[in-house]
Amino acid sequence: MAQHTPPAKRGRKRAVGEDEVVAAAIRLLGARGADAVSIRGIAAELGLAPNAVYTYFPDRAAVVGAVVEHLLGESDLAALTRRDTPWRDRIHTLATDLRGRLLAHPGAVNLLLSGPMDGPNALALGEALLAVLADAGLDPTEAARASYLLIVQVLGAIALEAAELPTPQPAPPITERIATRRENLRAVPADHYPRTAEAADTIAQFVSDEQYTWGLDRVLDGIEARANN
């Protein structure tokens, strides 16, 4: 009489949540760059079928939005709300923090700029920035315009800097990046571009902390002048 063989037990399905999907996307971003952040790539990173990712996110754009929200959520909003600190110092703290966090994931900058920043963390950041500008003495309309100007300045400067960084490898030290830029500028024909050649040392330092702060301060100077009118 033939022996009855019981069916093999199926392995339990691995359960994941939205946070795990976002964490996997950020790992891919750091290891392989923005192009690797796809539904299939995330599923492979988690050892799942793509359908498991679609349970939480309908498409790649939704994943990207969640990654952006996660990165913005790491910003220290408390630094913006400390009313015992001068308003300019609060904005400097935010701008420096954003630059450090985003350049730690250079590929994230393109993701950040690839869609609207309208999630809860982005809205909270915008609200806190408007409050700082109100403390600076701007009315609601001027504060809104100044807020947009600051976002353009900060994210624009970071995006241009990130565009020169190798991804997904870690960013080289700033001194090394400045030296590379200076070397490249030496190849620019001075007879055709004399002003560029004359300003080469300054242009080479466009990725420096000093240039980032200088640009931000010029914007803040303008905002402060408007507030004092």
Residue 35 in domain:
yes
What pLDDT is stored for residue 128 in this prediction? Answer: 94
Are residues 29 and 129 located together in one domain of the fold? no
Note down the domain range covering 29: 15-58
What pLDDT is stored for residue 11 in this prediction? Answer: 38
pTM: predicted TM-score of the whole model, two decimal places: 0.82
What pLDDT is stored for residue 167 in this prediction? Answer: 67
Closest by CA to 174, choosing from 185, 161, 187, 156, is 161
3-state secondary structure of 171: coil
Residue 202 in domain:
yes
Residue 203 in domain:
yes
SS percent in the chain: helix, strand, coil, step 5: 70, 0, 30
Question: In order along the chain (229 residues), what is the average pLDDT of each group of 10 residues?
Answer: 46 69 90 86 93 91 90 84 93 93 80 82 93 96 96 93 77 90 94 96 96 97 91
The answer to whether 209 and 174 have CB atoms below 8 angstroms apart is yes
Are residues 51 and 87 located together in one domain of the fold? no
**Strand ranges (DSSP E) for 34-176?**
none
Structural domains in the chain (count): 2
Are residues 114 and 214 located together in one domain of the fold? yes
